[in-house]
Structure 1
Amino acid sequence: MVVRFVDRVAELSVLQGFAERGAGVPIYLYGPEGCGKTRLLRELVSRLEGARDYLVVYVDALEERDPGRAVRGSEELRRLLLDAVRGAAGGPLGVLLAYAVTRVVSSLERRLVEGRHVVVIVDDVARPLGLERLEAYVKSLLRLVEYDLAELYPASVLVVASTSEGLSLERLRRHPTWVSLRLLWGLPRSAFHELATGLGAPDTGVAEEAWRLTGGNPRALIQIATVYMWDIDAWLRGLDASLAAPLVAEARARGLLHALQRVVADPDSIVAEADPALQQVARLLLKNNLIVYKAVATLTGETIPADPGLGIGSYYAWQLPAYRELLRRRLGEAGG
C-alpha cells in the first residue's frame, strides 16, 4: 500500500527554506519513532533532487544492503557515493554510506559544487553508528558545513541528521554550537483523521481511539490499519507482549516498580527531584524509546504544549500514549 504524504506543509516549507539559504550548523532532527521524520526528509529530497541548481544526497543509515533504499538524490552524487563503498567491508551498507558521505562530498570538484545548493541528509543515524561515535560524527558534519564545502563556493549548504534515539540527546545537548536540535512530533488531530480516513478507518470513533492511543503517530496508525485491520485491541496486545510486560518485569527485578509508577503518572517526575531510582527508570525508558525529551523547539519554532491526557509533560513525553496505558495496567496487576 502506498500511503500518501499528509500535512507537514509548514515543516516542509521550513526545510526548503533552509535548503535555499543554508544553515550554519547541521540540523539534528529527532522525535518519536514513527512520527514521520523519514517520510518528511524523503519528500524534501524528491522535490529537490531533479533541480539543476541543487546537489542532493540522502542516506538511510539503517539500510543493510539495498542500494536503492540506502541512497537517493542527484544522480551524479549518488553514483559517486555508491562507487566509494563498492566492495567495502566492515558493516551494513547504510553505515558505510553514512561514513563515506562526508568524505565524498568534501572531495567533490569545485565545478560540481560552485553556485549550487548542497543538501546532505543522513537518516536514522544514532543507532547504527552507536552513541560512542555520535559526537565525533556530528563534528564531522559540522566540519563539512563550515570548512570543506565552504571552500567549494556553494550557493548554500544544508546538512540534516535524524534519529528517534532519545539517549543521543544527552550527548549533543552538551555541544549547542555544533548542531541545531529540532523536534518533529506526530500529526495534528485533523491531519491524523485525514490519514485515518485515507487508510479506511471504519468510523470516526475508531479513528479517535487511535488518536488517543498514538498521539498522532502516523506509523502506528498505518500499523493499526494495515497489519491489525483496525483491531486496536490486538495492536495493544502486541505492544504489551513485546514492550510493556518485559519492561515491568525488569523494573520489578531491579526494585524500580515504585519509581516507574511515578513516571507513568507524570513523565516530568524525572526532572522534579534528584532521585537515583527515577534516573534509572528514565534511562530504561529512553533506551527502549518509550519516552522522549521534548523541551526543544520544533522545526517550525514552536513548542509542543503539555497535555496530561496524552502523557505529554513540559520536559518529557511518552512516545505513544499507548505505552503509558499498558504500563499503567501492568503496574496495577503487579501492585506497583
Structure 2
Amino acid sequence: MNFDVVYVNPVEKEAMAETGITDVKARLMEILREATANTWVRVAWAVVDMAREIMKAGAKKVAVLADDVFQAIGLDKVAIYVKGLLGLIEYPPRTYDIVIAVVATSEGVSKREIGRHRWANMRPMWNMPREGFKQLYEQLPGDKPDFDVIWRITGGNPKMLVELYRAGWNTEKVTSDLIISKNLKAFTASLSDGERQLLIKAIEDPDTLMTRDGIPLMNKLLEQNLITEIPERRDPWYWTGEPPPQKDPELGIGKDLAWQTPLHREAVRRVLGVPG
C-alpha cells in the first residue's frame, strides 16, 4: 500500500524508518549513533517528530508503530505520548490520505491512564494461537524440547520462546532471570502475611484476586507486569488476533486475570516456596 513507516521499540533498542525522505533517515541514523541505554527516551519521542516531517515532505500514507515505548518514557508520560500521536491525525502539517498510529504495550498499568481519555481505541492482544506459535517454534534451528512442553511453559508468548532459545532451552535459567529482573525476593518479602496467602491462592487461580481484599495485591502484580487484566468479552472482533480461552488453569488464565506466562507464575511459585 506504499506506506512510509516509522518504527521504534526502546526495550529491544530497535528503530527504523522506511521512507523515501532521505533527511528523515539520516536524522534517525544520527540519533541512533548517539543513543545509549538512557537516551532511548529521546528516540521514542523523535519518532513522532519524524512522522510529522515525513508528512510535511508530502507523504500521503504514513504509519507510526511504537512497541513498548511506555517502559522507556515512563507511565507519567503515557497520555502525553498518545496525545502526540493523535495530533498527527487531527492536526496534520498538510493533507494526507491515511495516517495510522499503533502503540503496543506489554504492561497493563498504562491501559488505565490511556482509558481516562478518549484519545485512542484500545484493543487487547493475547499471546499467539497454538498453530501460529507452532510455526514459529518450527523455524528455530537445532534440537529442541517437544512442542507441547514449550507450549505449556510459555503459553504461546513469543518473547518467552526467544528467551528459552537463547538460554539453550534451559527453563531454570529463564526462571531465575525472571526472579532477578522482577526483584521477586524483595517483592514477596514486602508482602503482609495476608497478601502472601492471597498470592499463593492466585498461583492456582488468578481470579481469586478479583475481590475487595485481593485488588490491592492485584494492582501490585500489575505494576510488576506479572499478571494482566483480561476483558471479559472474548468476541473475536474485539481482540487484535485470537482471544484467550475463557479459562485455562494449566496456562494460568482466568476469566478476568491471567499470569503473563506460565514461566512468570513459576518464578513467583519458586520464590514463595510453593510446591509445583
Question: Is the shorter-chain TM-score for this pair beyond 0.5, marking a shared fold?
Answer: yes
Q: Is the 8 A contact 1:251 1:260 kept in 2?
A: no
Greater relative contact order (Cα 8 A, min sep 6): structure 1 or 2? 1
The answer to whether the Cα contact below 8 Å between 1:81 and 1:97 also exists between their aligned partners in 2 is no
Matched ranges for 1:286-325 at <5 A:
286-295=222-231, 297-300=238-241, 303-306=243-246, 307-325=248-266
Scaled by the length of structure 2, the TM-score of the pair is 0.81
Relative to 1, partners in 2 of residues 1:83 and 1:236: Cα closer, same or farther, differing over 3 Å? closer
* Alignment TM-score, normalising by the size of structure 1: 0.68
Q: Residue 38 of structure 1 aligns with which residue? A: none
Structure 2 residue matching 1:208: 3-state secondary structure:
helix
* Match 1:194 to one of 135, 140, 143: 135
Residue among 62, 83, 87 paired with 1:143: 87
Aligned to 1:74: 19
Q: Does the C-alpha gap of structure 1 residues 60 and 195 become closer, same or farther in structure 2, counting only changes over 3 Å?
A: closer
Please state if 1:121 is matched with 2:65.
Answer: yes
- The residue type equivalent to 2:199 in the other structure is L
> Equivalents in 1 of 2:29, 2:163: separation in Å?
36
Which residue among 16, 39, 49 is the counterpart of 1:103?
Answer: 49
Q: 1:293 to 1:81 in 2, by over 3 A?
A: farther
Write out per-residue CA displacement over residues 128-164 of structure 1, whole angstroms, 9 at most, x where no aligned residue: 1111111122112112112225xx2211110111221
Name the residue aligned to 1:222: 162
Structure 2 gaps, min length 5: none
Alignment match, 2:196: 257
Q: How far apart in 1 are the matches of 2:130 and 2:36?
A: 44
DSSP 3-state at the match of 1:120: strand
**Structure 2 counterparts to residues 140-289 of structure 1, below 5 A:** 140-148=84-92, 152-175=94-117, 177-200=118-141, 202=143, 206-227=146-167, 229-240=168-179, 242-243=181-182, 244-252=184-192, 256-271=195-210, 273-275=211-213, 278-289=214-225
Quick check: 1:267–1:311 contact (8 Å CA) kept in 2?
A: yes
2: CA distance, partners of 1:240 / 1:86: 31
Q: CA deviation at 1:89?
A: 10
Identity of aligned residues (%): 32
Q: CA deviation at 1:183?
A: 2.3
Give the direction of change, closer, same or farther, for the CA distance of 1:105–1:247 in structure 2 (3 Å limit). Answer: same
Give the letter for the 2:146 counterpart: V
* Number of aligned residue pairs: 267
Q: 1:83 to 1:333 in 2, by over 3 A?
A: closer
- CA RMSD of superposed structures (Å): 3.2
Cα separation, partners in 2 of 1:265 and 1:63, compared to 1, 3 Å = closer
Tell me if the contact between 2:228 and 2:259 (Cα under 8 Å) persists in the aligned partners. Answer: yes
Q: Which moved more, 1:103-112 or 1:116-125?
A: 103-112
Secondary structure, in 3 states, of the residue corresponding to 2:65? strand
Write out per-residue CA displacement over residues 258-304 of structure 1, whole angstroms, 9 at most, x where no aligned residue.
22123223222333x222xx23321221122111122173224x532
C-alpha separation in 2, matches of 1:225 and 1:72:
29
Gaps of 5+ in 1: 1-19, 21-50
Aligned AA for 1:105?
A
Is the contact made by 1:119 and 1:157 (CA closer than 8 Å) also made in structure 2? Answer: yes
